[in-house]
Each structure stands twice: as structure tokens, then as C-alpha cells.
Structure 1
């Protein structure tokens, strides 16, 4: 979630200065897009993976600080809860064996982390929401020891001025509340990054929005929270509600939430940054010493620190990213819709589907977003999150169709084409997209496997807590095999 803050105490004057600085950064970026060569040297991608820690009884293990200290691997960082870690996988090219190398890098990194966790009597779990988690686990005392997290907690809770109210109606219903954002630690995701040229950014962002419902339906892996069976991907509505900084009155007036799908297709990355400035007050108005105008006028590349910091507190499901590496700027789409897990193979298959499909759709002469209403894309996203493999989605040319049929008949061939355009090795292309096809033909993803395993345990007479504990233990064992979830036995 970013670098540590120098200070977590902000004044009204800080906020005024910060807003002005963000606007200057935005003006500088606008000028750079037309005059500066941005990095766009081939199909480069990156991944971030959030991880849960459990003890021998499959309960959350509040041990991330100890494990990180023993591990000493800068690729791993703490996440919001003391039972969370994040793995940042260094970016690489996608052509050739790039996806296979991603998979091996992740497996090697997780193996090292698992060894350290084992010495601390803990295990790693790649899952969207830890099934054994209870409300007693997600309290301020269990936030990671990180000043940024505590500052965010204070700022978001202060902006709301009331408890965060949760009401999720799915197969069962969850109604609860909290006076802290600590429950957000329940949500563990996988984030894909793809570097794009400025003149192609809008096409890749629009394509990412258009396929979000398909992604989340096929990749759903969060059916249980606080002992309740809710949506196939409960992480989506829970994250939206658990971090909603709007007072109820603002929500009723139509003020945009900080966790946001958006409300329109775009023509430029500037559309998104301008919306951030227009709609969202600063949460963490930390000022840098950089004068972006002076840096730009000197011929150097500005960091645009304030613009990036503000962007990091607007939680779009597809987020724009400006960054600098090797002294040169670049732009990325950060795709944030998917949960963690179930296995590394599943995770990299999800990546192959995303990278291939978004490439194919972004390069179409008649793009899908010119034929699909934005409201329909958001409705697809909600349906995919709620119903998972059982979702029916709307798509141009076919109307409403089951997601597996849409994938097999229309989108999977386009994903193959997209991976070919990216230069992905055919053997890796076939293996990874074959995992997606296997999910469609079996109707099984992480959410359906978890649900079926708990139902079977309850049919044998186990209570819900005992069934969740048993299922989670089996899940961890299967995860270690790296066999795709659609092949797991119950």
C-alpha cells in the first residue's frame, strides 16, 4: 500500500497545499504526454499477490512481522493485517517463456516464505478471503505495525464520522459494522500490471473494464466470510462497504465512493486523474520537496509524488499508474479485480487470460466498449462477483449468456490471439488457457470448490466452523501441489 509516511499528523493547511500540488502535477503530466517519450518497450507486465497466514488449526496467524524479519526478502512486504503479506513480483516481458518464468519466480519466492513461516508454526494461504476469519480477528490491535496503515485508518474513519456498515445479501446474509478499516484486511487480491504507451492507455483501460465481470466470475475465490456463505467473490462488496468514507448523507446524494468501478469509458489517462482530483478529497496529504514544474523545465523526469499518492487512495478496480524507472516515465493499467489463489498455476492462468484478452480487445478496429454500455459492464462486474461460474453476462452480439459459454465460444479464442500477438510461447499459451477452459467445462473455480467442500463436511455432521476449518486445511494441502483448482478432489 505504499511507502511509510514521514508524518501522520495533517492540518487543514496541509490539505490546501496538497490539492494545489496535485493540480500542478496533473498539469505537468498533461504536458509530458504530448512531448516526452514514455517507456513502452514491448509487452511488460508485473504482479502483486496478497497472502494470508494461518496456524496449524487453520486460524489466522498474527505473525507477519516475525516472518518478514526472518525472511529478509525485499519482494515481501506487510499488508494491512498482521496475518497478511504481499509479494511483489518483479516485472518482466511476456514474450517467449515470460509467463512460465513468472510462475517459477512466484513458486520459488513462496517456497522461501513458506519455509520461514513453517519455522514460526505458520502456513501460507492464497485465497480471496480467509474462510476461518472472524470479526474478533479484524480489530485495530491486529493491524500491521505500519504508520501508513494507521494513518489511513484514522483518516478514512474520520472522514466517515460514523461506523462502517456492512450488509451483504448472498446465499446467506451478513449484517455487521465496525469503527475501523481493519476488516479490510479480510480482502486479499492479485493485481496485474501492464505497461502501455500513452496513446494506447485508454484502449487498454476500457478493455480491462469491459472484461472485469468475466474475470471475476471465472476467478471467484471468496465465498465465505465470518462464517457466512455470501457471494462467489464476497471480497468485492465487502471491500466497497468496509472502506466507504462517505457519510450516509453523502452516499444518498450520489457522492462517488473511493472504491469505484467508474461511470464512463475514457479517452485518456488524464480523464481518470482529473476525476480523482475533482471527486475525492485528499486522505494522506503528505508533501514532497519536489517542484514538478521546475524538474520538468530542467529536462528531468518528475516523480509527481503527490499525484501518485492521491491516486493510491482512490481504489478503482482498474487503476491508472504513472511511474518512473531508469529515469524514464511510463504508464500502467493496474488490474485489481481478482482474488488471490487458489494455486500459483491458477493465478498465472488468470494472468494469461487477462493479458491475452485485453491485448486482443484493445487492438480491435471496432472496440467492444463502443458496443457495450458502461452500465452493462458494471452490471456484468456485479453479476460475476455475486454468482461466479453461474453468472450470466451481457455481451455485444449475443445478449445475455452464461459466462462459461461466453468464454468458450467467443472470448477464449480472442485470448489465444492476444497471447500470440504478445509473442507468448505456444506451449505456455495452451497450458494456461487450458486451465481456464477446464474451469468452464467443469464449472469449478475456487469459490465452487470451497462451497462444495463445506457442504460435504456439513452433510457429514460437522458444524459450520468445523467445516470451514477442515476445508481450509484441505485447501492449503491442495494449494501446495500447484494443481489447478478445477482438478481438486472434494
Structure 2
């Protein structure tokens, strides 16, 4: 890893990277359920039925993932992206049904039971097994999940499988090395607003917890630190960070300095020899290790078409509720990222890093009811911040991308609609469970999940869903 890091530094000095290209790509994680809305442990069979290279396993047997290749956003690009995702999901749903499965776009599957989360429900992938063994070897004790929300969850697990409960949308943006720090800092600054307006994970193991419970669950489910190391200030594996950066190198250097390798796997390639002989090194060990440090905005080094490039992987968003909602969340992010990194007075020069982290935590807990700090406004509700400051910037940014005006208006209108109505995927789920009523919480969650799936397929934005 240290040799890879040295070679990476040399490549940055020698400007060996592909320049900026306005490309956007994403990954979407999904849950698989049966006809009753319960978790279905059949991802291997479903993937075999789908039989498409853009689909892959995820950590749990009730998860799969689709990768959408990077594409242009100009013109009606977001509309084409929405149609592309829908057609692929429709095909996958048809194939999943042949294995008695159904796909669900949601941050945490509400019907998932605690007894279904154990080592036996990890996907049949040797890397997941090895990761599980290494994390628990580092911990030396069972995983403790403790979440204080509307209700309280306090339990233990003997595997990393609770992480599989978190299903997200990951947005990728390619940037040049020179522009990376500004874009990463901007992404960190808006993470709280993203989570507040997109929250879609209120339930875990039958408990109503945070509006975006996925954030704290992911932090706790992948923590390699026993209690004494937490007390000593050892950094967590899921990390917002601790400072604004000046270079992408800062992040990869922190990975090597602060985190021991979890996956002791090495390739034959010598990165220095590759570089000296005029080839592009893959930096296998550095990138593998980077994949086990779960930053909410992760740096990505990759080689495509014979050229190396850098991407920011934005990881804060939950999946769902509809494909239109996902596309709207993406448009909001990409619009802001076309403006904020280029501001004459950068936003990160006007607010502390701790304020940005507090915004994320508050948004995860309270959703649109969160109070967020923003320079020039002070502490305001998330909805007010988005309506007054961020939506106008996102409109400007989509214009810079060259997105057609009606397309931008439609997508950002979804974000506006959530803010004006106060309804996100999380609030709809909670209100729908309450509407079902009764003393049996799981039955109410199951009924709500079936209602959710029906509306998800309608592809209307969640703030318009009826109760």
C-alpha cells in the first residue's frame, strides 16, 4: 500500500490523469422480498435469472446492486437516465418474479427481522466472509448496536450482516486532481441537506428510530474498534472525516496512516515498474484498502480506457422511494456540485468542518425537521435552507451542465415538493404504519411495505403518495 501511495503521489505531480469530463454514474442497492413483503434470501437465484453484467451481489442474500455506467447529463440526460434505470429495473423485476422475488428501492427494509441477520445470510462471496472474519478479529468482541431515536434499539450481533440492512444510492462524479479538493469539500458541506430531503430509513428490526437510520446503523455495523480503542480516539471505519482537505492525496494518505488493512490480498503488479515502463498502474492494494474505509464521500482511483481518473463517490443517500425520486436526488446533488466548488468564496472557508458533520447527524436523526447551519443564514430548518439557498444553486448548476430547462424544473420540483409538504420517504412510511394501526407492529410494517412497493412501481414522487 505504501508503494502504491508513493506512485500515486508521483502520478499527481506529473499530471497523468484524465481531465474533467462532465460524466455522472450511479450504483443502486436493492432489497429482495417475497410476495408477502418479507426478506427473501435468494440473491444468487435472482441474479442468475436477471443474467446481466451490470447486476451484482451485495453483502446480504436479500440484496443486489445495479451499476449504471457514467453518462452525459446535458440536454435531456437526466430524463434518459431515469428511463434507463426504470427499464433495467423493470426487466430485473420480471426476472426476479421467476424466482418468487420482488425488488424494493428503500433505505432499510422495514420487514427485516433481527433473527434474519447472521453470518448464514451473508452472500456466498469469499470476500464478504473474509471481511467479516477480519472485522471481528479486529474487534475481539460482538457488535453492539445501540440507537436512540423515536424508540430505542439495543442489541448485539456476531457478524457484519446488519450492514446489509443499509441499501443506498451512490453517485459518482469524475473530477480532475486539481479540482478534487474543492469538490470533495463541497460534497461534505451539502451532505446534511441531501440526507434531510431524501430520508427513507425510519425503521430497523421493527423499531422506529431516526428518519435516516441507515447513517448510524452503517457507522456501528462496520466499526472495527473495541470499546477501549473508541475511548482512545481511534478513528472509526465509517468516517465523515475531521478536516477540509487541500488535495485528494490527503484522503489516501489518511487511509494508509490510520487504518490497518482488513483484506490481506496482494496482486503481482509492481506499481512502480508499471509507471517506469510507461503503463498505467492499477494500484490494486491501495484501491482495495480504500474500499474498506467507508467515507460518506469516498475518493475513487480507477483506470478506464487506458487512462487513470479520479471520482468522488457520494454515499449518503438511501435507495428509493421511486426511480423519479432517485433521479431528483441525483439532479439536486449534481446541480450543486456544478456551482459550490467554483464559488469565489468557498463555502468551506465560511463554516467549520464540525458544523458540516453536525448537519449530517442532525439531518439523519430528524430529516426535514432538522436544524442545519449555513453561512449567512445561521441555523435554520433543512427545508428553509434547501428552498432559500440550495435549490436556486442547483438550478444554476444544472443549467451549467446544459440540462434542458423543463427537465431540470421537473426534477428539482420534486425536491421542492418534499420541502413544501414536509413529506419524505421516511415520513410517508411512518404515517402509513400509523394508518394501518393495530397492536402487531410487524404486520403493520408488512402491509406498509406492500403499499410502498405498489406506489414505487407507479414512479410518482413520494411527496404525492396517498396515505
Q: TM-score range by the shorter chain?
A: over 0.9
2:418, 2:424 within 8 Å by CA — same for their partners in 1?
yes
2:42, 2:61 within 8 Å by CA — same for their partners in 1?
yes
Q: Over residues 248-297 of structure 1, what are the superposed CA-to-partner deviations in whole Å (9 max), with x where a residue is unaligned?
A: 10000000000000000000000000100110000002111111111111
Equivalent in 353, 369, 387 of residue 390 of structure 1: 369
Residues of 1 paired with 2:61 and 2:169: CA distance? Answer: 18
Matches within 5 A, 1:62-77: 62-77=41-56
2:267, 2:285 within 8 Å by CA — same for their partners in 1?
yes
- The Cα of 1:471 is off from its aligned counterpart by 0.3
Equivalent in 307, 317, 326 of residue 296 of structure 2: 317
Matches within 5 A, 1:6-21: none
Matches within 5 A, 1:32-431: 32-431=11-410
Residues of 2 paired with 1:216 and 1:316: CA distance? Answer: 15
2:78, 2:327 within 8 Å by CA — same for their partners in 1?
yes
Residues of 2 paired with 1:139 and 1:179: CA distance? Answer: 7
In structure 1, what is the equivalent of residue 465 of structure 2? 488
1:302 alignment partner, SS class: coil
Residues of 2 paired with 1:237 and 1:401: CA distance? Answer: 23
- The Cα of 1:189 is off from its aligned counterpart by 0.5
In structure 2, what is the equivalent of residue 474 of structure 1? 451
Q: Give structure 2 stretches of 5+ with no counterpart.
A: none
Residues of 2 paired with 1:191 and 1:264: CA distance? Answer: 22
1:159 alignment partner, SS class: helix
Residues of 1 paired with 2:432 and 2:365: CA distance? Answer: 19
2:49, 2:98 within 8 Å by CA — same for their partners in 1?
no
Residues of 1 paired with 2:275 and 2:414: CA distance? Answer: 47
2:243 alignment partner, SS class: coil
**Greater mean deviation of Cα atoms: 39-48 or 165-174:** 39-48
- The Cα of 1:134 is off from its aligned counterpart by 0.8
- The Cα of 1:426 is off from its aligned counterpart by 1.3
Q: Over residues 314-368 of structure 1, what are the superposed CA-to-partner deviations in whole Å (9 max), with x where a residue is unaligned?
A: 0000000000001000000000001100000000100000011122101101010
2:339 alignment partner, SS class: helix
Residues of 1 paired with 2:226 and 2:143: CA distance? Answer: 9
- The Cα of 1:235 is off from its aligned counterpart by 0.5
Residues of 2 paired with 1:40 and 1:309: CA distance? Answer: 24
Equivalent in 434, 440, 459 of residue 413 of structure 2: 434
1:463 and 2:440 aligned: yes
Residues of 2 paired with 1:99 and 1:312: CA distance? Answer: 28
TM-score scaled to structure 1, two decimals?
A: 0.94
- The Cα of 1:101 is off from its aligned counterpart by 1.6
Q: Give structure 1 stretches of 5+ with no counterpart.
A: 1-21
Residues of 2 paired with 1:298 and 1:426: CA distance? Answer: 48
Residues of 1 paired with 2:100 and 2:252: CA distance? Answer: 44
Residues of 2 paired with 1:344 and 1:66: CA distance? Answer: 24
- The Cα of 1:40 is off from its aligned counterpart by 2.8
Residues of 1 paired with 2:430 and 2:132: CA distance? Answer: 32
Q: Over residues 52-107 of structure 1, what are the superposed CA-to-partner deviations in whole Å (9 max), with x where a residue is unaligned?
A: 01011110011110111111101100101111000001111111122112111111
- The Cα of 1:299 is off from its aligned counterpart by 1.3
Residues of 1 paired with 2:19 and 2:202: CA distance? Answer: 38
Residues of 2 paired with 1:137 and 1:97: CA distance? Answer: 42
**Structure 1 stretches (4+) deviating beyond 4 angstroms?**
none
1:307 alignment partner, SS class: helix
- The Cα of 1:41 is off from its aligned counterpart by 4.5
